[in-house]
Each structure stands twice: as C-alpha cells, then as structure tokens.
Amino acid sequence: MSFQILISDPLSEEGIHPLRQTDNMEITVATGQSEEELLSNIEQYDALLVRSQTQVTKEVIQKGKNLKVIGRAGVGVDNIDLDAATEHGVIVVNAPDGNTNSAAEHTIAMLMSLARKIPQAFYSLKQQKWDRKSYVGVELKGKTLGIVGLGRIGAEVAYRAKGQRLNVVAYDPYLTEERADKMGIQCATLEEVLHQADFITVHTPLLKATKHIINDDAFKQMKPGVQIINCARGGIIDEDALYRAILDGKVAGAALDVFEEEPLQNFHLLELPEVIATPHLGASTVEAQENVAIDVSHDVINILNGGVARNPVNLPSLPAEVMKRIEPYFNLSEKLGTFVAHIAKEAVEEVNIYYSGDLTEHDVTPLTRNTVKGILKRFLGEHVNDVNATYFADKKDITINEQKTSVTKGFTNLLTVEVKTRNGFAKVAGTLLNGLGTRIVKVDTYSVDVVPTGNLVLIRHKDQPGAIGRVGSLLAQFDVNIATMQVGRSDVGGDAIMMLTVDRQIDEDVLVDLKEVTDIYDVTPIDL
Ligand SMILES: NC(=O)C1=CN([C@@H]2O[C@H](COP(=O)(O)OP(=O)(O)OC[C@H]3O[C@@H](n4cnc5c(N)ncnc54)[C@H](O)[C@@H]3O)[C@@H](O)[C@H]2O)C=CC1
Ligand SMILES: O=C(O)CCC(=O)C(=O)O
C-alpha cells in the first residue's frame, strides 16, 4: 500500500530524506498554496506536513477524507484546528525539541539587539549617517530578566541569560521552587515578574489563558523603561496595548519575532523607533529545520505504517518504555471492546474497564482508548479510531471508568470490560498468555478459553442433554464447520452458554433457524 504525502510549507530537504527513502511514501511538495487550492486537492492525501504558514482549518480537515496524520515541523500547532482533527480521527504530531536551541538563541539575539539598539544603529549607518548619540544602550549585567513560560525554550533562555550575568525571575504554573533553585533562578508569580523585570520575554503557547496575558493592566504593573521580547506567539502580547505603552514612555523597547496576524499586515508597531522585529525567524536555522523535519517525517512514517507516534499532540504520549510494555495488549483491548459491544446489543451508556495483575503497573490510557474504539466501531463504523474514540464517547454521553484492581482470578494479567446498557450489564474478560497469545477467559460469569479472532457465535441456552448436538447438526446442515466449541453453565439444568468458532460468517437464515432450536434463548454472531 502506498501513501500520498503533501508538504505544503518549505521543509528542509535533508529533513524529509527519511520520507523519500521509504518505499511506500509518495511525496508532493506544493508550497504557498491558497486555502482554495489546498481544499481542492487535499482529498487525495494521507498525510499533510506543514510549518506555521499553512492554515489547516476545519474545512481542510473535513475535505481531507483520506487524511490520517498532520505533521507540524515545529512546536506551535495554533495553525491547525485540533478539535476538527480529533473529531475526524486525524492524528496531529509536532516536533517539540528540534528547534528549541534556535528559538532560545534568537531570543538572546533579540535581547542583546534591543539592549544595544543594534538594528536601529545599523539602519542609520546604512543611510550613511554617523550618529553615536541616538543609540546609547544599557548593560545586561545585573539587570533582571523576567520569563513568562519556563518550558523548553524558556529554560534555555534562562541558562543563556545567566551567562550574561542577568538575574532571572520566572513565572510558569508548573515551575517548582525546587527546580528554580536548581537552575539558579527565582520562581515568581506573574505579578512579581511584571514588577521586578527590566526585560520581559514570553515563552508560552498561545492558549485562551495566555492570549493577551501581557495587556494594558500588565504594562501598568511594569517598571518604567522595561523592554519586551516576544519570540513565542503573536497574541500573547496585546499589540495595541504595547503600542500605547511605548507611546506613553512606559516601555523603552520591544523585540518581536511573531505577530497577531502573519504575514504582518498592519505595520503600525514597526513605525515606532523603539521596536525591532524579525519575520518569525526563531526556528529558521539550518539545524532546527533539519531536526524538526526529520522528527515529523519519522512520526508520519510510523503512523502510516501502523506504528506508534512519538510526538502526538491530540493523543497522550507515553514514554517508549511504557508503550513497549502495553503494546502487546492493544489487540486484546480492542477485541474485548468489539466483543462486549456485540453481546450488549443495546446502546452503551457506561464502560467500566478493570485492569489487574501486570497491567496495574503501567499507564493504561492507550488501552482504554483502544477498548472504547472497539466498542464504538460496532455502532459508529470504521472511522472511529484511537484519536477520536473518547471524543465520540464524550459526545454520546458514555461514561468511561478505568480501574486497577488486585483481583487477578489466577491470571498474571487480566483485562475486564463491562458495559451498561438500558437492559443491564454485559461483561467479557481477556488475558495475554505468555508465549500463547491472547484469550477471552470470561463471558459474563462463564469461564471460557477462546482465541479472540475470526467468526464467533455466542449461544445462550438451557443446560439440557442434546442441546450441543442439535446446534452441531443444524450448522452441519448449512455447511458451517465448527472449529472450536466451549461450553459453560451456571449450574446443572440452569442457564448455559456455548462459544463457537466457525469457519465462515453465520448467514441470516442460519441465525433464524438456530434461534428456533429447542432450549436456545439467544444467538449472537460476533466478528472479531
Ligand atoms: N518564533 C519561533 O519561530 C518559535 C516559536 N516557538 C513558540 O515558543 C513557545 C514556547 O515553546 P516551547 O518552549 O517549546 O513550549 P513548551 O511547551 O516547552 O513550554 C511552554 C511553557 O509555557 C507554560 N505555560 C502555559 N500556560 C502558561 C501561563 N498561563 N502562564 C505562564 N506559563 C504558561 C507551560 O507550563 C510550559 O512550561 C510556543 O508558543 C512555540 O510555539 C517555538 C519554536 C520556534
Ligand atoms: O516553522 C517555523 O519556522 C516556525 C516555528 C514555530 O513557530 C514553532 O515551532 O512553534
């Protein structure tokens, strides 16, 4: 099977080498497309690779009927409609580490250019003026740098700033005093950063909570003469408020790499001599572009070929070691979900998943998603996948409970899936047997030993002599061969089940006749 990949923003040719080297990937590079052009051709692609220019809107995702993965060669995914991607089961991956150094170095370059007015002085000199009075700067040594957002880039900026003998105060809701102490910086509130800093640099993602976090009110709290840097995302700083703060004389300078609207349309801030700027160049180095393109290429190859993503944005990511441990259970969890959805028959209102034995040692979130996928596929079809399974469950008001228990019933690992419908509960349990593969070991209260694959039939009947024989002869009449049969009963003469594995799917006429057999209450064909 070959996959069609569209690269719609300029990516490093060395970086996409892994994609070009993979036999089943066909690559189209078409940069600078308008949204209309993208809408008209996106349907043929399995993967879309972008940087920050391409706007991957809801419409693009809706039209991209074959899209399985969107790869962002960089960190910020604010140009991708993540909700739409999740709803449509498209996995979004990014490259969070590859451009950290470059963005941090660009921030320091901006900080030093700002402090010493290098761009303004250079511009004046280019105009053949020898003006030494207008460009008196300030030293960094002994000043305070305030960092808002101490993630990958914020932390690298902090280390470099300390090399310039700056004192660093940082605000990040996830920053602990302990980590700040280790880094030799001060852990502060946002207000403390605003009050204390001579320079403020922001390094958060653009989120609802960070949009205009630096606004009129924030500027009021800052020291007079403060200088501002934004190499993260336009919109973290309110550009109109910044403009006012510069005109008021509160802000002495600003260095901007990113803007609320890109490409920049309104140049009013750049008309101010206090403002220096670059056109979103934080990650524009040979090294960063190669790193990020390599990282997304590998993830796209993995995902399209059925593997696991290293940097998923709309799926929780787990350490490779944990994924390796739980991967053998992926198939079992989905099959148990599909099985229980068949026997539940009615719409599922609640899913209870119990993990025991070895499984309790790990983060089992991907298994829960897989189980829910198995259940919902039965009702919603093949478009349900790992990415959108819990989204659809949520939309359908299906409650999902995940529980780790010590009840192993003698198995080294046991995965039990119970669903509640308006008719009551249905339950199935399975295990992974060392060296022997997966087994269904319990259906409702009955113990069985069934390989969860192929065409199964669950027959509920009264435990009476001859019941098994009658089923066997009827299936023989229809030329349906029974590969395996398991029986289980509550007590002698009471309720019982037969679990058959048959060589072909049970047709409707076989089903009708089976249901007519004496002492049979119910027949459920199950395709796994
Ligand atoms: N200019 C450019 O070319 C580049 C820009 N970026 C942008 O830089 C920013 C930072 O990237 P990374 O450090 O890789 O991300 P990151 O995810 O490692 O760090 C972001 C940090 O922001 C913190 N944060 C979130 N909400 C916050 C809030 N309300 N207040 C304070 N802190 C908050 C998080 O806890 C996290 O520590 C992103 O916006 C990214 O898109 C990244 C690379 C290049
Ligand atoms: O692709 C680029 O050059 C922009 C990088 C960026 O802004 C990011 O990684 O968030």
User: Concatenated DSSP letters for 442-479?
Assistant: EETTEEEEE-S-SEEEEEEEE--TTHHHHHHHHHHHTT
The set of residues, in sequence order, having a beta carbon less than 8 Å from that of 25 and lying 6+ positions away, is 2, 3, 5, 19, 300, 301, 304
Ligand 2: residue of 16, 105, 236, 280 to mutate (most ligand atoms within 8 A of CB) is 280
Q: Which of 51, 72, 160, 280 is catalytic?
A: 280
Question: Using N-to-C axis directions, what is the helix angle for 118-126 and 100-116, rounded to 10°?
Answer: 70
Measured by CA distance, the residue closest to atom 7 of ligand 2 is: 76
Instruction: Give the C-alpha separation, 462 to 152, whole Å.
Output: 64
Distance CA 7, CA 38 (A): 11
CB 456 within 8 A of CB 500: yes
Is 51 near ligand 2, meaning CB less than 6 Å away?
A: yes
| CA–CA separation, 240 and 174 (whole Å) | 29
Of these residues, 233, 362, 378, 461, which one is catalytic? 233
**99 CB under 6 A from ligand 2?**
yes
Q: Cα(28)–Cα(48) distance, rounded to whole angstroms?
A: 10
Domains of the chain, earliest start first: 3-97+287-315 (3.40.50.720), 100-277 (3.40.50.720), 316-452 (3.30.1330.90), 454-528 (3.30.70.260)
Pocket test for ligand 1, best of 172, 183, 278, 287 (most atoms within 8 A of CB): 172
Q: Which of 8, 49, 51, 262 to mutate to test the pocket of ligand 2 (most atoms within 8 A of CB)?
A: 51
Torsion 244-247-250-251 (CA) sign: positive
Atom of ligand 1 nearest to the CA of 96: 14
Nearest protein Cα to ligand 1, atom 25: 204
Among 410, 329, 100, CA closest to 231: 100
Bridge partner list, 251: 226
CA of 369 to the centre of ligand 1 (A): 28
- Indicate whether residue 52 lines ligand 2 (CB < 6 A): yes
Give the distance (Å) from ligand 1 centre to CA of residue 337: 38
Give the residues of the chain that fall short of pLDDT 50.
none
In 184-265, alpha helices (H) = 190-196, 216-221, 239-247
Q: Around Cβ 146, how many Cβ atoms within 10 Å?
A: 27
Share in percent of the chain as helix, strand, coil (round to 5): 35, 25, 40
Write 485-494 long-range contacts (CB < 8 A, 24+): 486/448, 486/449, 486/450, 488/443, 488/446, 488/447, 488/448, 489/446, 489/463, 490/445, 490/446, 490/463, 491/463, 492/463, 493/462, 493/463, 493/464, 494/462, 494/463
Give the span between the Cα atoms of 90 and 84, in whole angstroms: 8
Which ligand lies nearest the alpha carbon of 230? 1
Q: Which atom of ligand 2 is nearest to the CA of 95?
A: 9
Query: Which ligand is closest to the CA of 284, given by its number?
Result: 2
Q: How many Å lie between the centroid of ligand 1 and the Cα of residue 69? A: 23
* Atom number of ligand 2 nearest to Cα 9: 1
Q: Which two tokens stand for residue 175?
A: 């920053």
Report the predicted TM-score, pTM, of the whole model to 2 decimal places: 0.80
The pLDDT score that the predictor gives to residue 453 is: 94
Give residue ranges with CB within 6 A of ligand 1: 74-76, 96, 99-100, 103, 148-154, 171-174, 203-207, 209-210, 231-233, 257-258, 280, 282-283
Kindly give the distance from the C-alpha atom of residue 292 to the centroid of ligand 2, in angstroms, as a whole number: 9
Q: Decide the pairing of beta strands 413-421 and 455-462.
A: unpaired
Q: Is 489 a catalytic residue?
A: no
CA of 57 to the centre of ligand 1 (A): 22
Ligand 2 center from residue 234 Cα (angstroms): 12
Handedness of CA 249, 118, 212, 214 (dihedral sign): negative
Which ligand lies nearest to the CA atom of residue 206 in the structure? 1
- Give the span between the Cα atoms of 363 and 369, in whole angstroms: 12
Q: What is the full DSSP assignment across 323-346?
A: HHHHGGGHHHHHHHHHHHHHHH-S
Output the CA–CA distances (angstroms, integers) from residue 527 to 242, 339, 448, in the order listed: 62, 8, 17
**Sign of the C-alpha dihedral computed for residues 167, 217, 234 and 177 taken in this order:** positive
pLDDT score, position 379: 83
Catalytic (active site) residue 261: no
Closest C-alpha among 83, 84, 23, 20 to residue 49: 20
Ligand closest to the CA atom of residue 205: 1
Question: Which atom of ligand 2 lies nearest, measured to the CA of 292?
Answer: 9
Going from the Cα of 204 to the center of ligand 1, the distance in angstroms, rounded, reads: 3
Give the closest residue (by CA) to ligand 1 atom 3.
282
Q: Which ligand is nearest to the CA of 200?
A: 1
Asked if 233 is an active-site residue, the reply is yes
pLDDT of residue 269: 98
| Res 380: pLDDT | 85
Query: Is ligand 2 within 6 A of the CB of residue 113?
Result: no
Between the CA of 342 and the centroid of ligand 1 the distance, in Å, is 45
Model pLDDT, residue 450? 94
Q: Is the CB of 291 under 6 A from ligand 2?
A: no
Question: What is the C-alpha to C-alpha distance for residues 515 and 461, in angstroms, rounded to an integer?
Answer: 10
Q: Is the CB of 75 under 6 A from ligand 2?
A: yes
